[in-house]
């Protein structure tokens, strides 16, 4: 066990959270390593000093703000792919693998074999699906293979969005190696994926505005607006987009979900607390309805109504609170 890993386990052991088998390994390392023994002594001394001071209970406003910031940070983290999680696991256990080169070699061989077998099975399944699709197609119609469709995972940017008047057809121009465009209905999964990509186009506020406006209209119309898809893209736009127009449209699209989706409600509360546009803050407050199920709404409104620098924001918050007599 190396010293860097030992320092991590010293802290865990100081708070009684290290498993017994790892604690024995830690003690063996400490018996032969004077710097690590000194590190443990310093950690234990620091813990004694911390235990000697009483812990102040946080106020309700601090708890509400901390919860909102934590949710914001978690929302900003991209989901980890399976190979990223595998890489982290390999790195975390690298010290153990150094002591077992045979096991490491076997792991690499097994991984390579699994990759080859998986690729072979994927090729067989792909060919089988293509044959089934062609067999099910009407006579004279050739089914386009999936590989011939645009590889949306490799899209570099969205350069333009045009909706045909009085229709559900949208023409999206996007860039791969060369500029391309794809035309389809707003219900088309690829069109929706491109629109969600367009909400992150940092080079063009107009493209972001068009994409967020279309996605918000879909949500307000009651169409498919799943939490992990369009709804999540609108929450990101509300929290981070630099354009007030884009944030305003994102807020409008999230309105139908404020009452039932806690993550949407937290994003709206974050706008009340942190948005630099008073109009957006006022609109966000108007979407909130305090209730006993989620005390964070009341806590934020009470805090804003009593201490916000903007008189209009304070008045609007008080008006919302006044409509709920039982919490006065």
- Rounded CA-CA distance 191/305 in Å is 42
The total number of residues written for the chain in this structure: 328
Query: Among candidates 38, 41, 44, which has minimal Cα distance to 16?
Result: 44
pLDDT at residue 236 tops 70 = yes
Report pLDDT for 53.
63
Domains in the chain: boundaries = 1-52, 89-129, 199-327
Cut 0.85: pTM above it: no
Report pLDDT for 293.
56
Burial class, 237, CB count within 10 angstroms (exposed 0-12 / middle 13-18 / buried 19+)? buried
Report, as an integer, the average pLDDT of 315-328: 72
* Position 192 confidence tier, pLDDT thresholds 50, 70, 90: confident
* Position 248 confidence tier, pLDDT thresholds 50, 70, 90: very high
Q: What is the pLDDT of residues 85-143, one digit of tens each?
A: 666 666 666 555 454 555 555 555 556 665 655 565 555 665 665 565 555 544 544 44
Report pLDDT for 279.
92
Strand order across the 179-185 sheet: 157-163, 169-175, 179-185
Cα 169 to Cα 91, 199, 218, distances in angstroms: 48, 19, 13
Report pLDDT for 65.
66
Where do runs of H (alpha helix) occur along the chain? 3-14, 20-32, 34-51, 60-76, 82-92, 94-98, 101-136, 189-198, 205-220, 230-240, 244-254, 262-274, 278-287, 295-307, 311-322
Report pLDDT for 245.
92
Strands 157-163 and 169-175: antiparallel
pLDDT at residue 271 tops 70 = yes
Q: What is the pLDDT of residues 24-59, one digit of tens each?
A: 888 888 888 888 888 888 888 777 777 666 666 666
Burial class, 23, CB count within 10 angstroms (exposed 0-12 / middle 13-18 / buried 19+)? middle
Report pLDDT for 156.
67
Cα 281 to Cα 72, 238, 323, distances in angstroms: 17, 11, 19
Q: Find out whether 253 and 229 touch, Cβ atoms under 8 Å.
A: no
């Amino acid at each position: 066990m190396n010293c860097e890993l030992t320092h991590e386990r010293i802290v865990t052991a100081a708070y009684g959270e290290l498993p017994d088998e790892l604690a024995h390994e830690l003690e063996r390392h400490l018996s032969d390593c004077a710097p690590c023994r000194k590190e443990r002594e310093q950690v234990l001394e620091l813990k004694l000093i911390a235990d000697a001071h009483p812990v102040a209970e946080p106020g309700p406003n601090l708890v509400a703000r901390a919860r909102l910031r934590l949710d914001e940070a978690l929302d900003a983290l991209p989901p980890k792919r399976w190979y990223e999680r595998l890489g982290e696991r390999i790195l975390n256990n690298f010290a153990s693998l150094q002591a077992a080169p045979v096991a490491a070699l076997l792991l690499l061989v097994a991984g390579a074999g699994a990759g080859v077998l998986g690729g072979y099975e994927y090729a067989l399944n792909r060919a089988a699906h293509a044959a089934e699709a062609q067999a099910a197609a009407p006579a004279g119609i050739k089914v386009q293979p999936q590989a011939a469709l645009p590889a949306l995972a490799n899209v570099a940017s969205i350069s333009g969005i045009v909706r045909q008047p009085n229709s559900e057809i949208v023409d999206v121009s996007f860039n791969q190696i060369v500029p391309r465009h794809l035309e389809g209905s707003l219900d088309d999964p690829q069109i929706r994926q491109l629109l969600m990509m367009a909400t992150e186009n940092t080079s063009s506020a107009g493209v972001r505005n068009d994409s967020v406006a279309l996605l918000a209209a879909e949500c307000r119309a009651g169409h498919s607006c799943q939490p992990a898809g369009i709804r999540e893209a609108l929450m990101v736009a509300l929290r981070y987009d630099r354009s007030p127009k884009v944030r305003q449209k994102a807020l409008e699209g999230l309105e139908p979900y404020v009452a039932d989706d806690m993550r949407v409600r937290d994003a709206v509360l974050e706008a009340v607390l942190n948005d630099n546009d008073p109009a957006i803050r006022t609109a966000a407050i108007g979407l909130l309805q305090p209730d006993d199920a989620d005390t964070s709404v009341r806590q934020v409104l009470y805090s804003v109504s009593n201490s916000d620098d903007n008189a209009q924001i304070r008045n609007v918050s008080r008006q919302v609170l006044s409509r709920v007599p039982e919490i006065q």
